[in-house]
Amino acid sequence: MAEQNFVDYVKICCRSGAGGAGSAHFHRDKWNARGGPDGGDGGRGGHIILRGNRNVWTLLALKYRKHVIAGRGGNGGGSQSSGASGEDIILEVPLGTVAKDAETGEVAFEITEHEETKVLVSGGRGGLGNTHFKSSTNQSPRYAQPGEPGKEEWKILELKVLADVGLVGFPNAGKSTLLSVITAAKPKIANYPFTTIVPNLGIVPYRDMRSFVMADIPGIIEKAHEGKGLGHRFLRHIERNATLLFMIPCDSDNINNEYEVLLNELKMYNEELLDKPRVLAITKADMIDEELKALLQAELPKDLPVLFISSVAQTGLTELKDKLWEIINQNEKEE
């Protein structure tokens, strides 16, 4: 997916439809010149609705659509005829879309299932016709309710990429190379920081025709939780990954320190991220021999699985997929 086409944040003005007015009508025909009240109810105003679509990967369609306006409800008529409901506006969004109030930042809901629908802004209710106000003491009410006005609200839609495995690491840790080797995804790869500036998704084929989804999250930098670089945009995508694969090159100055910095960035952004299962992959392992691997192994964190891999030499990748599959399925059973 072209970088300019990947949009994960939009702010839109939503105006739902006003409800139609109830009717203050009285029955009249050639046999009855002064019949009773028979005014119908007004129709409700149109809603603005979000609908999940697994075939949509970006919020690009909403980037230039700053105003979304639903239809007005129809007025009630005689013979207890109700007005038509206003036209609903349905916005197709990717799975993992979060809807927020633009003023308060309060999260309204998340769309996580295909064809899941939720009302973003509800239309105004239609007014009641005069038939509802007839009573023993008021046989001929000459009034009806007006419809409720629609609402005008600014909403923020944010996309959090949904994947089984999210790749976490500093720029140039080899995340894009791994994704290109074990999936059919073709991310941009180059030997300089921030080659990846949007998430890339790929499907990892596994044994017996099974598969899982892997997401290459753009590289984190120190103080990303404070918004440094594009920190908040990067970290947001990690929230929707079931398992986190930390990737650190074997030629790093201090692997333990890099791991702690990455872990701290996640913790400072959202402490709940530390509850996700983690795996550590030491990349570019074709550059070191078995003796050096053993020396590094003794210094690496002991609280998570550690594997040595090389995407270029394609070593350790089968073991990595086995471990990830085991953790993903163990996580699903516990849920």
Per-residue pLDDT reduced to its tens digit, 207-217: 888 888 888 77
Task: Flag whether pLDDT at 176 surpasses 90.
Answer: no
Tens-digit pLDDT profile for residues 136-158: 888 889 899 999 999 999 999 98
- pLDDT exceeds cutoff 80 at 132: yes
- Give CATH 2.70.210.12 domain extents, the chain: 1-159
Q: What is the pLDDT of residue 262?
A: 86
State the Cα–Cα distance between residues 92 and 115, nearest whole angstrom. Answer: 9
* Burial environment of residue 22 by CB neighbours within 10 A (0 to 12, 13 to 18, 19 or more): buried
Judged against a pLDDT cut of 70, whether residue 188 lies above it is answered with no
What percentage of the chain carries pLDDT values higher than 90? Answer: 32
Which pLDDT score, from 0 to 100, does residue 227 have?
Answer: 43
pLDDT (0 to 100) of residue 171: 77
> Which tokens go with 15?
């105006």
Confidence at residue 2, expressed as pLDDT on a 0 to 100 scale: 44
| pLDDT: which is higher, 58 or 240 | 58
Residue 110's H or E segment, with its range, is: strand 107-111
Q: Looking at the chain, which residues constitute the CATH 3.40.50.300 domain(s)?
A: 163-334
The reported pLDDT for the residue numbered 268 is 81
How is 252-317 classified by DSSP, letter by letter? -S-HHHHHHHHHHHHHHH-GGGGGS-EEEEEE-GGGS-HHHHHHHHHHS-SSS-EEE-BTTTTBSH
Average pLDDT, the chain: 82
Whether pLDDT at 17 is above 80:
yes
State the average pLDDT over residues 4-9. 68
Please give the CATH number for the structural domain made up of 1-159.
Answer: 2.70.210.12
Q: What is the pLDDT of residue 332?
A: 54
Residue 228's pLDDT is 43
Taking Cα atoms as reference points, which of 250, 259, 308, 317 lies closest to residue 281? 308
The better pLDDT of the pair 246, 208 is held by: 246
Domain 163-334 has CATH 3.40.50.970: no
Distance between start and end Cα atoms, the chain: 32
Q: Is 59 helix (H, G, I), strand (E, B) or coil?
A: coil
Q: Is 90 exceeded by the pLDDT of residue 47?
A: yes
